[in-house]
A and B are shown apart, each in its own frame.
Chain A
Amino acid sequence: MMSSNTASSSAAVAGSADSAAPRRNSKKPKYSRFTQQELPACKPILTPRWVISAFLLVSVVFIPIGVASLFASRDVVEIVDRYDNDCIPDNTTDKVNYIQTPGDKSCNRSITVPKRMKQPIYVYYQLDNFYQNHRRYVKSRSDAQLRDNSSASDTSSCKPEDTYNGKIIVPCGLIAWSLFNDTYSFSRNSSQLNVNKKDISWKSDREHKFGSDVYPSNFQSNDTVIGGASLNSSIPLSQQEDLIVWMRTAALPTFRKLYGRIEVDLEPNDVISVTLQNNYNTYSFNGKKKLVLSTTSWLGGKNDFLGIAYLTVGGLCFFLALVFTLVYLVKPRRLGDPSYLSWNRNPGGH
């Protein structure tokens, strides 16, 4: 009689599985928890308690992080000075022409320090609307050439800045060619503020990507199409940190690049005068140029986003937890109640 029942009895068959001693050449499957799909497992269900505590947990974790990040960001003092418009003589109509004509383009700016800035103060330049992430631009470089003197001729990816008059350009490619060439010098109360330009690039770049035996050659020698800065051909690339910084292409069309560090504290209301050489052409593509002085916190520069985002989501989760709790308390439903079944709502829907 048992045998006719086995269809529905799991115990019977499982029992026989344990009693080993299978007959010879039997095709009986061997028992294993995996093949019988009986692996031990936890079966999480989103019970009200789970849901509410998950939301609460998130809000408990997120709100303090948000507050901390926001404080960190607020601690940072950042001075941004846009100068691309102001550093052009008022009477110039054709800005592009102005910037492209050689000549002295120095320009003086003065910046007032709003709050005490502890050293190191990072000096950045910021470009807008500059597509360093354009595919043509990003690809236009030769890592081999930058790294190793022996691969100097590896310029296939650098066109059209690969050779000039048949001579190989080092460093080749559009990125290097368009190197940013505005320069800044700072003084406070007519005493020079030193800008430390050492170690502004990633260490790995200096040591492994830009060779110490690779020297610039034929760089920016094409007079007809003027690129950016030229390089001192007696200094190896691994020490040309401005180039190294520039060569790490930015992710977005608005970006900052590290220019250097001022390693003295600046006091509030200090007036800093900046003498800059406005050489770089952003006028043809309506890009902006900004000079940025900023301190950092443990979280980096001045960016409230993370703090606000954490606070918002933390708050949202708290709100959701509250709503779910209210619903759970005000209108408790037996969660196994079949009358809520989706297909009982529209009986005709099959």
Chain B
Amino acid sequence: MAGGVKKKLHLGRLHPFRCGTKSFQPEHSLIGGPGFSRVVFCNNTESQRVLTYGNNYVTSTKYTLATFFPKSIFEQFRRAANIFFLITAILSFTPVSPSSPVTSVLPLALVIAAAMLKEAMEDLRRKKQDIEVNNRKVKVHRGEGVFDNAKWMNLQVGDIVRVEKDEFFPADLILLSSSYEEAICYVETMNLDGETNLKLKQAVDATSKLHEDSGFQKFRAVIKSEDPNANLYSYIGSLQLEEQQYPLTPQQLLLRESKLRNTDFIYGVVIFTGHDTKVVQNSTAPPSKRSKIERRMDKIVYFLFSILVLTSFMGPIFFGISTREDLENGTMTRWYLRPDDTTIYYDPNRAPVAAILNFLTFIMLYSFLIPIPLYITLEIVKVIQCTFINQDLHMYYEEADKPAKTRTSNLNEELGQVNTILSDKTGTLTCNLMEFIKCSIAGTAYGHGVTEVERALARREGLPSAKEVTNGEGQVENSNKAAIKGFNFFDERITHGKWVNEPHADVIQKFLLLLAICHTAVPEVDEDTGRLSYEAESPDEAAFVITARELGFEFYERTQTSILLHEFHPISGRKVQRSYKLLNILEFSSSRKRMSVVVRNMEGKLLLLCKGADSVMFERLTKNGKEFEEQTQEHINEYANAGLRTLVLAYRELDEEEYNKFNEEFHEAKNSVSADHEELMEKVAEKIEKDLILLGATAVEDKLQNGVPECIDKLAQAGIKIWVLTGDKMETAINIGFACCLLRQGMKQIVISSETPKIKALEKVGDNSSIAVAFRENVLEQILEAKESLTTLRKSSETLALIIDGKSLSCALEDDVKGLFLELALGCASVICCRCSPKQKALVTRLVKIRTGRTTLAIGDGANDVGMLQEADIGIGISGVEGMQAVMLSDIAIAQFRYLERLLLLHGHWCYRRISTMICYFFYKNIAFGFTLFFFEAYASFSGQTAYNDWYMSFYNVIFTSIPVVALGILEQDVSAELCLKFPLLYQEGVQNVLFSWFQFLGWAFNGVLNAILIFFFCSRAMEHPAFRKGGEVAELEILGTVMYTCIVWVVNCQIALSTNYFTLKNHCYIWGSIILWYIFLLAYGAMNPIISITAYKVFIEACAPAPSYWLLTLFVVITSLIPYFTYRSIQLWFFPMYHQMVQWISKDGQSDDPEFCQMVRQRSLRPTTVGYTAHLEATSKRFLEMHEVHL
């Protein structure tokens, strides 16, 4: 409340264009009709009871207690693989089953239970969140003018609520009144659309006088309104108060999830609750994305499935033949099977039917080829990988207290395969923070600020290869740098009041005055520190006001009609208080490209202060005002090349007569309600904004985020392409392109712009349709031309940059042109699209994604990036200042652009490696197991008898072989973190998918089959008919099964040990633990009652363990099975090393400390790196050399 006292001003005055006249629009006639049927009895619970619209309870959970079980089970069985396993589980209860039901049911049950548990935990988390939201408190009118706290969820339509400053609106409300006289309030809609600027809302006049709680004692009104819908920006309704109708528009609508700002309190009536609110209506489930690896994995599953069916076909054929032969002319051949008296399953007379049923048996038997816990294991592993990303201290942003946050867990490995990054500019590459860095006043350039890229370059030039070293010393800088946000201007000639000694002190004074006055910012005083801060519509404006303050023109208060400054008095050198009467504000618009204010100073002089883009300002100068034009223009060009935003400042003095005339016209225009209202205003403004006198120009740095150039450089070195898609102007976009080294001098820029002279000329004459056609042709022509130069330039080593604006882009994205456009874009080293609409961003993303088939990553922070984020394979949200929309709909949120380097090069690379190795291994181990079953069948007349005890089979996938692979998926690192970042090219392994190609998979599958062959044939040959131990005992089925199973457990676990690059204690525990577990299981299970353990009863302790041949055979089979892989790996490592192996070597040999050698390895690139400052430096030095050669 205290803050409100200080701020008596009413911002409403500052928005002269916004408050239109209020009258019933034609659409209001729809009220009461279909779609507009809602009736709300405000403050009248009795009447409302007739028409109940549900309470304000919001739930985002997928399940309730009752629906959880059926629904989540249904979810699980939507997966094809699970359906397959379900069918086998059901079949396992029929006599077709090769083994007892436990073999199929137990693993499936475990897997489904694990998946459901995961679902339940996730839903529980959502539930907690819901409970928190639903139990928030809000003040509700309880009758008799008493307001009392109520929970959000208990709100009813028609309730009157009182919302205090900085609180969220609990439901969609109609604003009745506020703490302000005019019943206005400010709303922050960051959660809805990501925009940070405040929106002004105003109640209808009729209710605006209700400033007290008690005023609602008697208040009764009826609102008729549209039905709930998802449209955030439209609303139609009418308020009936005392027989009088008032129209309601979005101007009165306060949406749930938005926040009350700068207003002490408001009263509102609830019209939409809970799921009827616009926000909830708007929330759509984000599209579920699956990684490429997973999609390929599905293909592998299908492939295996077809192998399964194929092998399952083979068995029944043999089985059918041998079954038919069991009865030959009425005599039994294999009489011990009693073919004369049998069930359908073995009936020789109906051998084909028996074979078909046998086919089912085989399907079940070979279902071991498909690893049942694959999906769930992957999910678990990915969740843990996500915690690594979330917990990474290197990706924690201390200043904003924001760690990285993964929102979807199924894209981890996709992070290791990104080919193209599509980046937003504002808030992503830049901080969305403007810093006043340089200026040119009266033809003199001031300011020594250093931009981020200049800094990066300086760093590189100091020590070319080892960036790490520079860390320690850093660069000596202005120690007080960035002490003041938005102000990075240092020049001893100007600061601390020294400007008075400069030659053109009067111009400087006016310059600073202009900065302090010509804006729409509002000052805010922090009560604790007494410091001033400003709330401005755009960050540049804030930078200006701050600069003015720092240089002695402190803007400290804005009243309704004037601006108050603490001004540095040039003569006395003290601060004096001055006020300027604010007469008119001529607002900024994109077409005007300038803004002006008209003020009267204390001496009564009328001043027009104007700032704007150089293109519009220079032509408005008077002849006398052009004194410094040339120098200023020069400085502006310089600033623009350094990637700075420039504005030209000018002023003029007005005489009373001229002003009065203007004022009259201005008011007339302002109050006109015709369609060309804005045009009219522009015309009026045009009349007075002329004959200006030039003061100078400002240069504001659109501040790049920390480390952006370095990060881009690393990503470029990793072979990732970076496209910038921005909504900004072409000039700004190019500036930023230069600033982060995506563009550089000497790069050929192909600019496809809609603002060619040819089109401009056309626009003046032709009609719309012909312009469109001509325009299209023009763009096509430009693209074709550019393509041609692309082919010619490819021969020379020059690199290209493509810059295209939104209008041309819309043509380039048309179906018949987009192929061409993409080809062109792919040929260019950097691509910058400016003036992009959110939709175009999404379209470009889709084009790249679909046409190239490569993985795309979109990164952005604003609501306008949401489309792009959702369209891309991976959407990364920057949890910066521009609201939460992008973050909420992204897949992964990080706090700073520079964390992308670590996210991709490190986490992405590792996750890719882990997941792909894991999947390959999973298939390998199941193929190895499944094929031993297959080979055994060949010796069991294909009858479907299993070689193993049922419980061995059920535990194979879930116990004896599943834990080490989880450890691999979590802990594996091919190359240490430091080296991952040192050799960005390592990332190409993921981009080219070398670890999960079909070749790789087939290699593993082959290894699996080979292992199965070795295990089965060695075991069966060694255990064949002669006695296998001293006591003369022969090895029966259960013993052979146990021996083979022992070998398999050993082999697959040793195999994973052999493929692990990073052996932690945990790996050891899990791998050797799994093997030990098998023996423990064998002992425990064998000791159980023979009714339970059946064939496994004492098999280990009595038969196997005392036999030396059992142990010798295990040793032999395990070693022999590993030799092929071991040999392959050694040969491959020696003669065909992969990049990560090279890096492993280097680190092993200690060559990683040898910068020269590292450089050599690093440079082994697929294509020369073309963007980033490394390339920049190289190009510069090359040009330098060439120039020298020419001179010589």
The chain A residues found within 8 Å of chain B, CB to CB, are 1-14, 16-17, 23, 26-31, 35-48, 51, 54, 58, 62, 65, 69, 76, 78, 96, 120, 122, 124, 126, 130-138, 143-144, 147, 159-161, 174, 177-178, 202-204, 208-209, 225, 227-228, 248-258, 261, 281, 284-285, 294, 296-303, 305-306, 309-310, 313, 316-317, 320, 324, 327, 333, 335-336, 338, 340-344, 347, 350
B474 within 8 A of A: yes
Are B1145 and A37 neighbours in the complex by a CB distance under 8 Å? no
What are 11 A-B pairs at a CB distance below 8 A? A7-B706, A54-B1126, A58-B1119, A135-B943, A202-B1033, A251-B1035, A258-B1032, A300-B1026, A301-B1034, A313-B1116, A335-B1137
Stretch of B501-509, B546-554, B658-666, B1159-1167 on the interface side: B1159-1167
Q: What separation, in Å, do the CA atoms of A299 and B1112 have in the docked complex?
A: 9
Q: What separation, in Å, do the CA atoms of A133 and B1039 have in the docked complex?
A: 13
Q: Which residue of A lies closest to B335 (CB)?
A: A284
Q: Mark B1115-1158, 1 if CB is under 8 A from A, else 0.
A: 11001100100110110011111110110111011010000010
Q: What separation, in Å, do the CA atoms of A201 and B556 have in the docked complex?
A: 104
B8 within 8 A of A: no
Which residues of B are found within 8 Å of A12, using beta-carbon distances?
471
Are B1040 and A313 neighbours in the complex by a CB distance under 8 Å? no
Which residues of B are found within 8 Å of A122, using beta-carbon distances?
1027, 1032
Q: Which of B750-808 contact A (CB under 8 A)?
A: none
Which residues of A are found within 8 Å of B1151, using beta-carbon distances?
336
Q: Which residue of B lies closest to A201 (CB)?
A: B1033
B676 within 8 A of A: no
Are A344 and B1102 neighbours in the complex by a CB distance under 8 Å? no
Are B471 and A160 neighbours in the complex by a CB distance under 8 Å? no
Q: In the complex where A5-B470, A296-B1030 touch, is A344 in contact with B1164 (Cβ < 8 A)?
A: yes
Contact of A134 among B941, B1021, B1032 (CB under 8 A): B941
Which residues of A are found within 8 Å of B836, using beta-carbon distances?
none
Are B1116 and A16 neighbours in the complex by a CB distance under 8 Å? no
Q: What separation, in Å, do the CA atoms of A227 and B89 have in the docked complex?
A: 36
Stretch of B181-189, B397-405, B575-583, B838-846 on the interface side: B397-405
B977 within 8 A of A: yes
Are A252 and B1020 neighbours in the complex by a CB distance under 8 Å? yes
Which residues of A are found within 8 Å of B391, using beta-carbon distances?
29-30, 35-36
Are B1166 and A350 neighbours in the complex by a CB distance under 8 Å? yes
B901 within 8 A of A: yes
Stretch of B19-27, B235-243, B537-545, B1090-1098 on the interface side: B1090-1098
Are A299 and B1142 neighbours in the complex by a CB distance under 8 Å? no
Q: In the complex where A28-B396, A28-B403, A96-B331 touch, is A133 in contact with B939 (Cβ < 8 A)?
A: yes
Are A5 and B403 neighbours in the complex by a CB distance under 8 Å? no
Q: What separation, in Å, do the CA atoms of A342 and B992 have in the docked complex?
A: 12
Stretch of B110-118, B306-314, B338-346, B522-530 on the interface side: B338-346
Q: How far is the CB of A241 from chain B (nearest CB, A)?
A: 13
Which residues of B are found within 8 Å of A252, using beta-carbon distances?
939, 1020, 1024-1025, 1040
B123 within 8 A of A: no
Q: What separation, in Å, do the CA atoms of A126 and B1067 have in the docked complex?
A: 47
B1041 within 8 A of A: yes
Are A5 and B338 neighbours in the complex by a CB distance under 8 Å? no
Are B337 and A136 neighbours in the complex by a CB distance under 8 Å? yes
Q: Interface of chain B, helix or strand or loop or mixed? A: helix
Q: Which residue of A lies closest to B1102 (CB)?
A: A204
Q: What separation, in Å, do the CA atoms of A131 and B393 have in the docked complex?
A: 64
Q: Which residue of A lies closest to B1157 (CB)?
A: A336
Q: Which residue of A lies closest to B982 (CB)?
A: A8
Q: How far is the CB of A292 from chain B (nearest CB, A)?
A: 8
Which residues of B are found within 8 Å of A37, using beta-carbon distances?
388, 910, 971, 973, 977
Q: How far is the CB of A152 from chain B (nearest CB, A)?
A: 15
Are A250 and B1037 neighbours in the complex by a CB distance under 8 Å? yes
Are B1025 and A8 neighbours in the complex by a CB distance under 8 Å? no
Are B1027 and A253 neighbours in the complex by a CB distance under 8 Å? no
B1023 within 8 A of A: yes
Q: In the complex where A336-B1149, A338-B1142 touch, is A285 in contact with B1027 (Cβ < 8 A)?
A: no
Are B1116 and A310 neighbours in the complex by a CB distance under 8 Å? yes
Which residues of A are found within 8 Å of B1129, using beta-carbon distances?
46
Known pairs A251-B1040, A303-B1026. 11 more at Cβ < 8 A? A1-B474, A9-B471, A40-B1064, A45-B1133, A45-B1144, A130-B336, A135-B944, A249-B1037, A313-B1116, A341-B1139, A342-B1138
Q: What separation, in Å, do the CA atoms of A313 and B1023 have in the docked complex?
A: 18
Q: How far is the CB of B703 from chain A (nearest CB, A)?
A: 11
Q: Which residue of B lies closest to A327 (CB)?
A: B1134
Which residues of A are found within 8 Å of B467, using beta-carbon distances?
8
Q: Which residue of A lies closest to B1147 (CB)?
A: A43
Q: How far is the CB of B18 from chain A (nearest CB, A)?
A: 38
Contact of A301 among B387, B470, B1026 (CB under 8 A): B1026
B820 within 8 A of A: no
Q: Which residue of A lies closest to B941 (CB)?
A: A131
Q: How far is the CB of A130 from chain B (nearest CB, A)?
A: 7
Which residues of A are found within 8 Å of B1031, using beta-carbon distances?
296
Which residues of B are found within 8 Å of A48, using beta-carbon distances?
1134
Which residues of A are found within 8 Å of B977, using beta-carbon distances?
10, 37-38
Are B1037 and A138 neighbours in the complex by a CB distance under 8 Å? yes
Q: Which residue of B lies closest to A257 (CB)?
A: B1034
Which residues of B are found within 8 Å of A16, using beta-carbon distances?
393, 398
Contact of A4 among B455, B994, B1028 (CB under 8 A): B455
Which residues of B are found within 8 Å of A296, using beta-carbon distances?
1027, 1029-1032
Are B337 and A174 neighbours in the complex by a CB distance under 8 Å? yes
